[in-house]
Structure 1
Amino acid sequence: MKMKRNPISNAVYKALLTGFVASSALGTAALAQQDTDDDQSVEEQGKITVTGSRIKRSDVEGALPVTVITREQLELSGESNAADYIRNLTFNSSGSYRPQSGNAAQGESNVSLRGLGSSRTLVLVDGRRLPKSPTTGSSQNLSVIPMGAIERIEVLTDGASAVYGSDAIGGVINIITRTDFQGAEIMLGGYEVSIPNKGGEREEGSILFGTSSDTTNVLAGVSWNDREIVFGRDYPWVSQGASVYGNSFTTFNPVSIDDLNWTTLACDFPGTGFFTVPNSNSLTGERCAYDFNLTAANDASTENKSFYARAKHQVNDNWSVWANTTFTQAESFGRYAPVPDSNSPYADGSGVLMPADSPNNPTNPNSPIYDPNLGLSPQGIWWWHRFDALGNRDTTHKTQMLDMEIGTTGQIGVAEVEFGVRTTDNRTDDIGKNYLLRSVADALIADGSYLLYDPYSTPQDVLNQMKITIFRNTKYDQDEYFGSVAFDMFELADGPGQFFIGAEYREEKYLDQYDPQSESGMVGGSAGNSAGGNRDVTSVFFETLLPVYDGFEISLAGRYDDYSDFGDNFSPKASFRWQPIDNLTLRASYGQGFRAPTLDVLTQKTSFSAAFLRDERTCVNQGQPADCEVQVTAYIQSNPDLMPEESDQYTFGFAYEPLDWMNFTLDYWNIEIDNRIKYFGVPTIVSAQENGDPLPAGLGCERAPNGSVSVCYAGYGNEGFIESSGIDFNMRVNYDLFGGTMSSNLQVSHLLDQSVDGGRDLVESPGTPANRAVLQNLFGYGDWSFAYNINYIGSQDEDAVSEAVGSWTTHDVQLNYHTPWNGKITLGANNVGEKYPPIGQGFLDGQDYDYNLYNGFGRVTYLRYTQTF
């Protein structure tokens, strides 16, 4: 049930937080009944905190399915950045977004565990949540994670809202940074790609320093990687584009995009992207098209630079203070073809006919392009034009994130306590050049200052009047205060019961500000509108570990989150672990989770959209066929009444070590997400109204007296559910071979089913393979080592709009030599067989291949040198 709470000042929340943790710590100390001198510290017991739990333990295999990826595995993968490695995890079932040129999120990279969406996967850094991307407002950007800072990656393939709160529905990825390093290390690397005949080259590097004394540890480093832009024309599979936005006109409103009688205005511009193509509906039998692939880039360039530092000082035997800071700058450059635009309602719903007396109107007898053979009397026309004379649309996307954290850890009696504060400034700026100011362009075209039939003769001052540089400033800042207490409660059959209790207070500040012209819909070639708002979240959580009897333990966890903007939520979880024999661990868990509605959806400003619709009454009243496709005016608006999504999930499986040199795990998972946050578009709204189905408040379509749809109000609401299940298998072997050592790791993720609102099973549909697998092999002999990895993505069946996709297997190799002077030389190649992605198959989404699952770089050859001092 949704609950609204009365506003309470930040100062009160912080006081409650501090008092809660302090009272818990003192109460725990008072309950202690044993001699503290006999207690061992956590470090002495060799315990660590594993993702999915706040309680420190020494067990290798716990009750939850956690996959640990070591730094050695990261280096053996041949990837130059953390984002690409994480995206290639087998758990990233349907793939996920990576930097693409010209997209509003062109510098972003994210992960979508189980194919449930990036907003349902929580990314942590050292156990604390990575702030959401300012660009999306709903997902986290992996591009800001420095590769050189990573010690290991822990992947929890189970829901964890009971521990971490919102978003941890599909699973959790925890990036553990390096903490213990002595000396200095320098790494430099370079990469070449084989398929684009130019572009795509990469560089990487890192520098790390570490020192320590009896009481103090300090570590600092820098990490960088970059990739050159790749243009569509440089891929062998990219064909000539033939955009309808070339240089044509029509005299009537279209029924559908295929029925337009586009007739060429002018197209003979040598050395440009304009060219004529046949068009049976045209008055002259042809239209003017434009090849956007000549200038548009497919893959944006990326440059990522990071500085990170960690320090810890032991004040005395019981207390230590620590501080962490990271500064990351990620920049990308993308290029789109010049602005396509039109004065027609087909373009944006608000067009105005070109006057009949315009010099650009071919029906005007006084126009230089008047053609009496068209048989048209003087009349207004609709034009479709590519503003090539303005130049390409170039977009620079720059993100800066400064993250600082300071805290203290100590002992009060038998209790371990921790207090800390964290602040994150997370900003992104977008600058777009050579966009079109529509109102000015309409006027200059109407009076002939800009000639559609001779655009390149337009004086520069006229072009400058039409040009506009757009901007977008975004931020997603966080301030956090946290504290916790951990202690042993009482003795059970197999040891003491452990208890953890903590609290957090987090302030989130979100802003997505577009320039005024873009906000008002006056910019051609751009879309979107501003949003912004703040929220605070107060959380209290607990966890207990109960070793009930020999080899059997129960863990119970729960978390209460109170949001200032929509209400509260409680998430419980129970997990079980049983070792019937020393080398076999059985485990299971059940939990409930949630995903809070994101600030971008709750606070977005209303924006205009010309929505496509097939509606019989609207078509007939416009004198068109009953099954026509029309555009109607729509306004996309926020929904401040959104409720959180809720999930139920369970897992069970086992870990088995039959031999000293072999172990494997097998886990089944099942998840159902209810109260789904989904977008209600115009066709969905009209269908719901026709069938009498309920709609979220404020959403709906209005009809004119004659029955035609006149205006619609679209947006997000809560409705429906998602169901999914699958199996994960992992096997590791280590043995001696030919005088050296051999190790192999096989990871397989298999989707059993996935459906939305009880519909068809989506597994093996385009974009959703049933299987993903990675086999990693490493052979070491003296100073040499050789790695061989196999990457597998399963097949997908065809549907009405896509061809079937066969399975896709690539092979990676790497050779390492450890020099006598503490250096390491690495030579490797990913996709050594230069396998192409499946072109024209699967989930295309306007691309030549599925950008989420595959890449088009062919063989990636790299050389890396590492020197340790």
Structure 2
Amino acid sequence: MFASAASAQTAEPGSKPAAQSPDANGNADATIVVTGTSIRGVAPVGAPVIGFSQAEIQNQPAVTTTDLLRQMPSIVATGASEAYGGSANNANANITGGNGINLRGLGTEATLTLLNGRRLPPAGVQGQYFDPSVFATSVIGRLEVMPDGGSAIYGSDAVGGVVNVLTRLRFDGAEAYVKGGFGHQVGSAQAGLVAGKSWSSGNLLLAYEYFDRDDVKAADRPLYTDDLRAFGQSDLRLFTASPGNVQIGSTRYPIPAGQDGTSLASSSLVAATTTVPANRESVYKGASALPGQRRHSLFASLHQDLTPGLQAWTEGFYAHRKLDQTIGAATANLSVPQTNAFFVAPAGATLPLCAASVGAPAGTRCETVNYSFYNDFGPRVRDAFQEIYQVAAGLDADLGHGWKASAFASFGSDIEERTQYGINNPQLLAALRDTSRATAFNPFGANGGTNAATLAKIKGSQLVATQSDLTNVVAKIDGSLFALPGGDVKVAVGAEYQHHRFRYNTVDNFATPDTSTFTTVLAIPKRTVKSGYAEVFLPLVSGQNARPGIEELSVSAALRHDHYSDFGGTTNPKFAIQFAPVKGLKLRGTYGKSFRAPTLSDMNPATLGVTVEDFADPTSPTGLTRTLFLRGGNTALGPEKATIWSLGADLAPAALRGLTVSLTYFNVDYTNRIEAPGNDRTALTAAREPRLGSLITRNPSATLVQSFLSLPQFTGVPENPANIKALVDGRKVNVGRLRTQGFEGNIQWSGELGPVTLNAGAVGNYFLNFKRAVLPTLPLVDVANTFGNPLKFRARGNLGVSNERMAVTGFVNFTGAYRNDTITPVQDVKAFATFDLSARYTWDQPMGLAKKLTLSIDVQNVFDRDPPIVPNVTPLAFDPQVASILGRFVTVGLRASW
């Protein structure tokens, strides 16, 4: 299933391969560029590189490039994901529904994604990840992953490793394909075309893909719920409901159903008890469990020899992704003054004086109504999109005597926007004070009951828009210095220039006098990065001078210095060794330093967000505590740093043809991590609160709370500060440390049995530990195998049979047991496995319509296994970072080639 990259097409920073004869997949021979090194034609010493060829990609049941990558157990499913919007691993910053790659669980922002070895513009509204799904699977010649620190080669972000998307090269002909998918209450459509033409001195490649998948409604998935009583836990539905609850002090009085609030009597408001429950509403009412995605992807490349030894090339891609998603309705704890035309209070209740922010006359008393705007405006439709592109051009020159030079320039941009409705607070406060039933806001009805004109006045909107631009210029020279008995000593020296620009813009009318006026926050931070790097490869022993006990010995060393205009410089080395005592066995090791620069969003104070939310809290009688939640950037951030080393072995015994075994031990010490330790909606649980220390303030003063509620970044409905019983500070700081070690293994076998080929294998990873401290005052705590963190063991196995016409492969996906520590007592979650199936049948020259026609049938989760029940305070009844809520999904496709 996963092949070594030693014999595959690969790429280095900015280099483009020269014209060569294609293989069966339309890829050039692997002799020029390599993932994980700057030296052409040399496999990376010591570092494991695994990946998919185009043929393997076509035989996988996964639909998108990201789905393919996430089948590798070394890629952890935490972080930016369309399936998870919780706060763990900063996933709640992913407001446009993208999917990032997270190698070794170090974070999506610590995995560097490349296209043909070239940097790409950062994606996500915080520039915190890149979603490879923007590339059509049909245009990929090879998809490679190096799970090892790569900053000495590539610079920032390669702490966890590198994902390199390598496009097809000398492809002659055309392929077209269509696919249709269906599951429970969800469907998908996919179509694409790739065409290429080669000539003696160059080649052209064009590709297009369309992808569309419905959104999955939460109502169609029973485990997508926040009422966890059926699973032995608390009801975590909100008290902000429709109809809502009148709240005085800590007592709630449910507003009766079946009335419009115009004749509600005080006697009808009865204090909630176990027999008279408060009104509660799911945060997922009307919401999407998985967003719908609609994407258009384009790619083009052109290579042309200008003279013998001089080649020019250009390539570019464009993708547009539209999100189809609904989230829960707007909610608020409304401070309703006695002047409200519909006002009614429980009989005998003592009401507090209104807060000054309500704007009522002095001496007026208020009550709180826990209210959902669902019946007024419905769920919030998240209108979001991503538009991303890059163009690049370069020259490759053969200088003679084994030396080559290359240079390129590229420009790319990622544009993302999201709009959704909210509430215009000044107009709402005025409508709540209003004494006329014709124009006042009515929070006491069961099915709305407010005049349509009043609703139009209070319905606001917010736009969040970002644009990440990257200009990149790279020049490099590499070649042979001198000869050793084992071969030529090779060296590469290069320089790189990057210019980053991040445009952050919000426009809303939540705090303006009316919905016709808007508040704008605009920040455009910039930075430049100037880099120089060098790498040397020394083949001490090879087939040229092998001797008993030492078939191969090679070492490499790399050094890179990067200078940032906004926080200074960093220098990172890497050393590697590879030793083969006998044929078929290689021992290897690496040691290096890596770093991650803070993104421009990380350092942007304009990203401060202030919200008031109900946090799950086991110390609260109701299970929920009203909490002031802070998030955002910090101008004082510096780079993260890591020391990474690994040891590994690769076995390909001659006596067992077709068998390959690879095992790697890794050790990562990651310091000065940019953390938002308080960006955690589970912050008030017993497992989390002790770790966060001073970032949590219980019973904050009304003055402190009001100081944040008065900021323009607070876009919620004003409420009484006395009702807010906790403050959680989730802003970013350089305080974290992470130490982890584990094993990654890959075993594959392929052999002939009569007229058929059999293949079998498995790939997996095992974390020995994942020790984390989110504050410098806290000790390192092993959080492996706990909710929201990497599982200790994940594996994927494959077993297949094929001949010239047919191929059938089965896959098993296994996740080991782990602990759900978000609840008390801690839950032991059992191991979980699902099965996938892929079948292909090919006709040669069917009726003369095409060279080949292939029918594909793929089934993900063949037995339609539900995710394990994992009640958690996200809140959900399953863990979306471990198991998919999609269920069985069948895809049928046709692919024709000419």
2:885 maps to: 856
Aligned partner (choices 9, 22, 34) of residue 50 of structure 1: 34
Q: In 1, are the aligned partners of 2:574 and 2:591 still within 8 Å (CA)? A: yes
Structure 2 residue aligned with 1:440: 427
Please report how far the alpha carbon of residue 788 of structure 1 lies from its aligned counterpart in structure 2 after TM superposition: 1.2
Between the aligned partners of 1:598 and 1:108, the Cα distance in structure 2 is 17
1:657 paired residue number = 652
Question: Per the alignment, do residues 208 and 292 of structure 1 end up closer, same or farther by CA in structure 2, a change over 3 Å counting?
Answer: same
Contact kept, 8 Å, 1:784 with 1:815, in 2: the verdict is yes
Q: CA deviation at 1:609?
A: 4.5
The structural deviation recorded for 1:71 is 2.0
TM-score, structure 1 length as denominator? 0.82
- Name the residue aligned to 1:793: 815
Displacement of 1:417: 0.4
The answer as to 2:772 corresponding to 1:782 is: no
- 1:160 and 2:182 equivalent? no
Structure 1 segment 290-309 matched on structure 2, within 5 A: 290-309=281-300
Task: Work out the CA distance in 1 between the residues paired with 2:556 and 2:99.
Answer: 34
1:361 equivalent to 2:347? Answer no
Cα distance, 1:211 vs. partner? 0.6
1:646-725 equivalences under 5 Å are 646-658=641-653, 659-679=656-676, 681=678, 715-725=731-741
* Paired residue secondary structure (1:599): coil
Query: How far did 1:839 drift?
Result: 2.6
Task: Note closer, same or farther for the CA distance 1:186–1:559 as it changes in structure 2 (3 Å cut).
Answer: same
Is it true that 1:747 corresponds to 2:763 in the alignment?
Answer: yes
1:507 corresponds, among 499, 502, 511, to: 499
Could you tell me which of 478, 482, 485 is aligned with 2:470?
Answer: 478
Report how many aligned residue pairs link the two structures: 776
User: Structure 1 residues 398, 238: closer, same or farther in 2, change over 3 A?
Assistant: closer
Q: In structure 2, do the counterparts of structure 1 residues 219 and 458 end up closer, same or farther at CA, with 3 Å as the change threshold?
A: same
Q: Deviations over 1:534-560 (max 9, x none)?
A: 111111111110112342111000111
1:847 is the counterpart of 2:843: no
2:211 corresponds to: 225
The answer (yes or no) to whether the contact 1:573–1:591 under 8 Å persists in 2 is: yes
Q: 2-side partners of 1:700 and 1:382: how far apart? A: 23
**Aligned match of 1:261:** 251
Alignment CA distance shift 1:316-1:810 (3 Å): same
Q: Which runs of 5+ in 1 are unaligned?
A: 1-20, 22-42, 254-259, 271-276, 344-352, 364-370, 686-690
Out of 119, 125, 132, the position equivalent to 2:122 is 132
Q: Look up the SS of the partner of 1:93 in the other structure.
A: coil
User: How far apart are 1:443 and its partner, in Å?
Assistant: 1.6
Matched, 1:91 2:74: yes
* Structure 1 residues 824 and 142, CA gap change in structure 2 (3 angstroms): same
Post-superposition Cα deviations, 1:609-640, rounded to whole Å, max 9, x if no partner, equal: 5599999xxx9xxxx99x99986877656422
Task: Assess, with a 3 A threshold, how the Cα gap between structure 1 residues 682 and 775 changes in structure 2: closer, same or farther.
Answer: closer
Verify the 8 A CA contact 1:80 1:225 in the aligned structure 2.
no
Q: Which residue number corresponds to residue 40 of structure 1?
A: none
The partner residue of 1:760 within 768, 781, 785 is: 781
Q: What per-residue deviation string (whole Å, max 9, x for no partner) do you get for residues 271-298 of structure 1?
A: xxxxxx9997569944333345441111
* Partners of 1:707 and 1:826 in 2: CA distance: 61
Query: For the Cα contact (< 8 Å) 1:766–1:804, is it kept in 2?
Result: no
Question: Take 1:186 and 1:248, find their aligned partners in 2: how far apart are those partners?
Answer: 55
Q: Deviations over 1:346-366 (max 9, x none)?
A: xxxxxxx42223223213xxx
Cross-structure match for 2:610: 608
Is this contact kept in 2: 1:529–1:607, CA < 8 A?
A: no
Larger CA deviation: 175-184 vs 530-539: 530-539
Q: Following the alignment from structure 1 to structure 2, what is the Cα–Cα distance between the partners of residues 817 and 292?
A: 46
One-letter amino acid of the structure 1 residue matched with residue 244 of structure 2: S
Structure 1 equivalent of residue 263 of structure 2: none
The answer on 1:248 being equivalent to 2:244 is yes
Give the residue type in structure 1 aligned to 2:783: L
1:100 Cα deviation from its structure 2 partner: 4.5
Matched-pair contact (CA < 8 Å) for 1:93–1:772: no
Residue 132 to residue 650, structure 1, CA distance change in 2 (3 Å): same
CA deviation profile, 1:620-669 (whole Å, cap 9, x unmatched): xxxx99x9998687765642221111100101111111122211111111
Query: Are residues 282 and 362 of structure 1, via their aligned partners in 2, closer, same or farther at CA, if it must alter by over 3 Å?
Result: farther
Alignment counterpart, residue 540 of structure 1, candidates 528, 532, 543: 532
Contact map agreement 2:616 2:873 (CA 8 A) in 1: no
Q: Is the 8 A contact 1:783 1:819 kept in 2?
A: yes
Contact 2:83 2:881 in 1 (8 A): no
Q: 1:820 to 1:144 in 2, by over 3 A?
A: closer
Are the equivalent residues in 2 in contact too, given 1:263–1:282 (CA < 8 A)?
Answer: no
Deviations for 1:514-548, whole angstroms, at most 9, x for unmatched residues?
Answer: 1143588999xxx9976541111111111110112
Instruction: After TM superposition, give the deviation of residue 705 of structure 1 in Å.
Output: 13
User: Per the alignment, in what secondary structure is the counterpart of residue 844 of structure 2?
Assistant: coil
Report the alpha carbon displacement of residue 66 of structure 1 after superposing the two structures with TM.
0.7
Hey, what does 1:144 align to over in structure 2?
A: 134
Letter matched to residue 541 of structure 2: Y
Q: Show the counterpart of 1:826.
A: 856
The 1:71–1:845 alpha-carbon spacing in structure 2 relative to 1, beyond 3 Å, is farther
The answer to whether structure 1 residue 868 and structure 2 residue 870 are counterparts is no
RMSD: 3.8
Q: Partner amino acid for 1:446?
A: R
Deviation at 1:858, TM superposition (A): 1.5
> Where in structure 2 are the equivalents of 1:27-106 lying within 5 Å?
47-57=31-41, 62-100=45-83, 105-106=95-96
- Structure 1 pair 468/143, CA: closer, same or farther in 2 (3 Å)? farther
Counterpart selection for 1:333 from 303, 318, 324: 324
SS of 1:442's equivalent in the other structure is: helix
Secondary structure, in 3 states, of the residue corresponding to 1:456? coil
Distance in structure 2 (CA, Å) of the matches to 1:427 and 1:330: 10
Amino acid at match of 1:608: V
Q: Residues 278, 393 of structure 1: CA spacing in aligned structure 2 closer, same or farther, 3 A cutoff?
A: same
Aligned pairs for 1:189-228 within 5 A: 189-193=179-183, 196=184, 198=185, 200-228=186-214
Deviation at 1:680, TM superposition (A): 5.7
- Cα distance change, pair 709–759 in 1 and its aligned pair in 2 (3 A): farther
User: Distance between the aligned counterparts of 2:120 and 2:707, measured in 1?
Assistant: 44
Q: Give the counterpart letter for 2:838 in structure 1.
A: Q
With over 3 angstroms needed to count, the CA separation of the structure-2 counterparts of 1:716 and 1:584, relative to structure 1, is same
1:708 Cα offset (Å): 11
For 2:875, give the aligned amino acid: G
3-state SS of 1:56 partner: coil
CA distance in 2, matches of 1:755, 1:681: 18
The Cα of 1:470 is off from its aligned counterpart by 2.1
Deviations 1:575-611 (A, max 9, x none): 0011222211111010001111111121132443559
Q: Which letter does structure 1 place at the counterpart of 2:563?
A: D
Question: 2:65, 2:133 within 8 Å by CA — same for their partners in 1?
Answer: yes
Q: Cα gap change, 1:139/1:261 in structure 2, threshold over 3 Å: closer, same or farther?
A: same
**Distance of 1:704 and 1:190 partners within structure 2:** 57
Percent identity among equivalent residues?
21
Unaligned runs of 5+ in 2: 1-12, 14-26, 86-91, 228-236, 261-267, 353-363, 543-551, 685-689, 709-726, 774-778, 846-851
Shift of 1:341: 1.4
* Equivalent-residue separation in structure 2 for 1:811 and 1:122 (angstroms): 30
Q: Which amino acid aligns with 2:786?
A: S
**637, 641, 652: which one aligns with 1:642:** 637
